Chains A and B, each alone.
Chain A
Amino acid sequence: MRRRSLRARLLAIGGGGALVTVVALAAVAAMASRLQRELTAATVEVLEEQQIADRISTGVMRQLATLAAAGGIGDSTVRAGFDAAGAVVSEGVRSYLFRPLSIDERLALERVNEEHRQMEVAAVRAAQAAENGGVLARSDLQAQALGHALGLLDAMDAFLRQRQANFDALLVAQREQIARLWWLGGGILVTSAFAIAWLLPRFARRRITAPLAMLGEASRRLGEGALGVRVHEEHDDEFRALAQSFNRMSEQLATMQADLEGRNQALETALEEVHRAQADLLEAEKLGALGRMTAGLAHELNNPLASVLGASTLLETELREGRALPPHEMLERFVTPIVREATRARLLVRSLLQFSRRAGGAVEPVSLRDAVENVRELRQHAFAQAGLRLEIAPLPEVAVLAEPQQLQAIILNLVNNAEHALQGQAGGRLAIRALVDEGVVALRFEDDGPGVPALDRVFEPFYTTKPVGEGTGLGLALSRRFAEAFGGTLRVDNRPEGGACFTLVLRVADAAPAPRPAADDVMPSNALDGRSVLVVDDEPELRALAARALARLGVTVHVADGVASALAILERTRVDVVVSDVRMPGESGLDLHRWVLAHRPALAEHFLFVTGDVSDPALAALAAERPEAVILKPFELREYLGRVERMLGGAVNGER
């Protein structure tokens, strides 16, 4: 099949059809026109012949009248008139000669001609006889002339009737031809209309709608994901080009999909690497922060420890040298500083433990004041050491929606950043204040530092102004992400008067924060005679300290260095309260608790865990269910004894 464009095909069909129709109609019209012209010409000829016949008749009559009225044929004027009239007749007859006459018509015409010639001869002779006398009577010659004249008229009449008959026949034939032509023209139009009505839908279906339907079906399949779908290209140019484009598109889509899948795979691999890198970075950040914090903590702890050690050493020296000072002086000079500094160290450790707890819990009401206080406790001495001021305005007692550890991480990060920005700036100040307004709290951190050089980039991951090795550039990015996870925001501005201002906006919680275990400031002093407490700890010093402290309650103290020895004691001795470390060589305190649950269920409610880490999920769940069952190391002795005393107060006696 020869390829052509749809346009060319339409033009060819339309033009060809139109041309054929027009040509056919034109031919019919030409034939009709020719017939019409022939009819017109025949009509004109009939009229002309009628005029010729009139001239012939008139000429004959004039010739006869000339001879009858005039004096004599010898008169040249008379003869000239006679000849002129005769010439009209001859011319008239001869004018027929070159017309398309039939043989019969020509024969009839020749009869006219001969009758005229003989009429003229007889007429002239009759006239001459009248003038000159003669043998023949003029009347006889005139009769001959008249006879030929009548013969001429009869012949002329016959000729004309023959012409009329022939013309009528021609007229009828031509009218029939014209009628046939009309039928032919109508037939052509009807045929053309039928051909168009029959061919056009077939053409449209075959050349237009079928390819369109095929393309539509292919497009539908393509849209459903059948990227390998192809369409036939054996169409007219336009649809072939469309089909080729479709096939190319389908092929390209298949290629692109394969490429996309490859890229997706690569992206997934890259994403995994990024996640790993991010985890590594987070870990690095965490470790870095921990390192920095540990370094600061060591510094912070060294001071109270140095005080404790100094006071203890002096106390030891005083006691060894036997210099008995009054108790209140001993208390004021040695014991009170030791307790104060040890308490300070404890607070530092507790704050550190708060940060060491694993984040990722649910967003819950958190005390904003406690969160800030924890940070302050961690960093205020560092600020003081650096000659900086950490000023915290009185904070409202408001609970905000946050994950506690992440909230403290945000605050600590902002405080650390400010400290870094204020380094070398004596008297530099970080002011923290809170503004409560319509369900939100804006916690503002305003410092006197140099401000943030690139406000629009400061929250970008890995952006940092710190020297290489001192920061990961993730602190602020993570802080903002945490804040947004809480439903709040973290933004930064440079203060007009200088310095940066970070604003942490948090939602106010409807509920109050969960109560924190409160320390009992009162050292129990009343003895609980007859009761027994089992202390399980792998650290001998702690076991001895616990035994001495518990002895002040007047209870019987059993000590075990591990779970196995503890079980042996429980098997043979009545115990009212178990105080156990969690992490120990071999089985843990949790294993012991499970044993108690299984074998001494009533004792399970009098089980006090002493631990420095509540990261274990089972322990965390237990602490969440029963906060009184867990006490964190290091602890104040009063709180420790208070817990044990409250448990002993509710203990069920007699259980083994």
Chain B
Amino acid sequence: MASRHPALLLSLAAVAACSQPPDRVAIGAGVSATFVDAVRMAIEDAQAEGGLPPLDTLFFAETSNRAAPALDMARQLAEVPGMVGVVAHSNSSSSLAASPIYNAAKVVQIAPTSTSVRFAESGEFSFRLVPADPMQGALLARSLDSLFPDGARVALHFVNDDYGRGLRDAVLRELDRGRHQVVLDQPHADHEATDDTVARLRLVDESVAQLAAARPTAMLWLGRIATFRLYAPRIRERLGPLPILAGDGVSSLTEADVANPDLLGVRYADFFDLDATPAGRDFQQRFAARTGIAARSSEVLSYDAARVILAAVKDGARTGEEVRAWLQSLGRTRPPWPGLSGPIAFTDRGDVERGYVLLTVGPGRP
């Protein structure tokens, strides 16, 4: 039989050769620049620990929150031979838009900070290290209750994308309408922060004017830190020390943000308190020593995302399918992986169940 079909044997051998795990694996990232630094650091730490096969890496630093550039990154990342997992992307819109590409290529995608409810529908190769918006919405609503037990006139300002709209919907669902009154429900766009034109500045002024006209007693900022930096001075200028609660979008505070008096006292949701653990503080020091930048939870989550993929590779996974299976086994047939952000184990929807903390911008609390 064998002697009669040498061509078939050759074909089978070729197929077998193709089906064997590659000697090298690839890992990538498509996130903000500081996130990429965290990923690099994670790879270096993991390689320093040993046990990894030769790694190919491809990193993209996102410069916008738009989904279109993320699609192009995703296509390039998915085409890398041996690519088993990527840390991507920085926001829900991008993560969500790119997820079909990763799932089609069977490359594990771990979105470190994407909270959109829709992300859970992305597919079995898409994971994230944070819970979905409803938990954060509930946190913010309960915080309003505690800060304003007698009720508040609440102004909502949300970025009109998957992140902001999802978080806004979650807050509105959880908000006690009998106690609190939504006096303004205003969207904005992130590109306003990068479009530094007179018209755009007038647009921000107009929005803040509308905010002032609504005479709120509290404000919920459900957008990102870059845009908030644009709005905050006008808000302080028009509304003084208006209590502001923000979503996790402002958690990527820089040192300048911490020192910015317009942001002082702003309460924001974060996934964990990095200063609360020695490991977190150690990471901060190492990251700062490496980049000169203060690490926030997003960087830790990016670090953990890369490390957990590499842990799977170190454990023998050589394909995206094997990495996916390894991740799914955490908390089931394997113990949760001990990340800096806490124990990591994924639900059936690909989320990591963890709580939120409400932090305040101020001295001693970056």
Contacts and interface: CB of A to CB of B under 8 A. Distances in A.
B71 A120 contact: no
Contacts of A135: 202, 205-206, 209
Contacts of B207: 125
Contacts of B206: 125, 129, 134-136
A110 B123 CA distance: 19
Contacts of B237: none
A121 B188 contact: yes
A94 interface: yes
Nearest to B213: A132
A638 interface: no
B66 A114 contact: yes
B231 to A, nearest CB: 13
Given A97-B100, A124-B187, A134 B68 contact: no
Given A98-B121, A103-B71, A114-B66, A132 B209 contact: yes
Contacts of B97: 97, 106, 110
A229 B96 CA distance: 89
Nearest to B161: A117
Contact of B75 (A103, A111, A113, A120): A103
A110 B72 CA distance: 12
Given A97-B97, A106-B100, A121-B187, A128 B210 contact: yes
Contacts of A380: none
B161 to A, nearest CB: 6
B67 interface: yes
Contacts of B100: 97-98, 100-101, 106
B71 A125 contact: no
B165 interface: yes
Nearest to A116: B160
A330 interface: no
B18 to A, nearest CB: 24
Nearest to B214: A132
B185 interface: yes
Interface string B45-71: 000000000000000000000111001
Given A97-B96, A135-B205, A136-B202, A110 B71 contact: yes
Contacts of A125: 186, 203, 206-207, 210
B9 interface: no
A106 B100 CA distance: 10
B39 interface: no
Contacts of B209: 132, 134-135
Interface in A131-189: 132-136
A107 interface: yes
Contacts of A344: none
A66 interface: no
B142 interface: no
A117 B205 contact: no
Contacts of B279: none
B229 interface: no
A143 to B, nearest CB: 12
Nearest to A123: B187
A110 B70 CA distance: 10
Interface in A79-119: 79, 90, 94, 97-98, 100-101, 103, 106-107, 110-111, 113-114, 117-118
B189 interface: yes
Contacts of A120: 160, 187
B118 interface: yes
B167 to A, nearest CB: 14
B101 interface: yes
Contacts of B123: 98
A106 B102 CA distance: 13
Given A101-B100, A103-B71, A113-B67, A129 B189 contact: no
Contacts of A103: 71-72, 75, 101
A317 to B, nearest CB: 136
A513 to B, nearest CB: 102
Contact of A117 (B68, B72, B160): B160
Nearest to A135: B206
Interface string B105-123: 0000000000000100111
Interface in B118-167: 118, 121-123, 160-162, 165
A106 B207 CA distance: 31
Contacts of A111: 68
A79 B187 CA distance: 12
Interface string B200-225: 00110111011001100000000000
Contact of B210 (A79, A94, A101, A129): A129
Contacts of B122: 98
A77 to B, nearest CB: 13
A79 B185 CA distance: 9
A110 B160 contact: no
A63 to B, nearest CB: 12
B111 to A, nearest CB: 14
Interface string A563-579: 00000000000000000
A72 to B, nearest CB: 12
Contacts of A121: 160, 187-189
B265 to A, nearest CB: 27
Given A120-B187, A128-B186, A110 B210 contact: no
A118 B189 contact: yes
Contacts of A114: 66-68
A448 to B, nearest CB: 104
Contact of A94 (B66, B118, B214): B118
Interface in B65-90: 66-68, 71-72, 75
Given A98-B121, A117-B161, A107 B213 contact: no
Contacts of A94: 96, 118, 162
Contacts of B75: 103
A223 B185 CA distance: 114
Contacts of A134: 206, 209-210
B106 to A, nearest CB: 14
Nearest to B182: A76
A417 B185 CA distance: 156
Contacts of B189: 117-118, 121
A583 B195 CA distance: 175
Q: Which of B75, B96, B206 has the most CB of A within 10 A?
A: B206
Contacts of B161: 117
Contacts of B162: 94
A136 B100 CA distance: 40
A129 B96 CA distance: 33
Contacts of B191: 118
Contacts of B104: 100
B160 A106 contact: no
Contacts of B160: 117-118, 120-121
Nearest to A79: B185
A123 to B, nearest CB: 9
Contact of B68 (A97, A107, A132, A133): A107
Interface string A420-432: 0000000000000
A195 B191 CA distance: 71
B210 A136 contact: no
Nearest to B103: A98
A101 B165 CA distance: 24
Interface of A: 79, 90, 94, 97-98, 100-101, 103, 106-107, 110-111, 113-114, 117-118, 120-121, 124-125, 128-129, 132-136
18 contacts: A94-B118, A97-B97, A97-B100, A100-B104, A103-B71, A103-B72, A106-B101, A107-B71, A110-B67, A110-B68, A114-B66, A118-B160, A124-B187, A128-B184, A132-B209, A133-B213, A134-B206, A135-B206
Cβ-closest 5 pairs across A and B:
A132-B213, A117-B160, A110-B67, A121-B187, A128-B210
Interface of B: 66-68, 71-72, 75, 93, 96-97, 99-101, 104, 118, 121-123, 160-162, 165, 184-189, 191, 202-203, 205-207, 209-210, 213-214
Given A110-B68, A124-B186, 5 more contacts: A98-B121, A103-B101, A106-B97, A128-B186, A129-B206
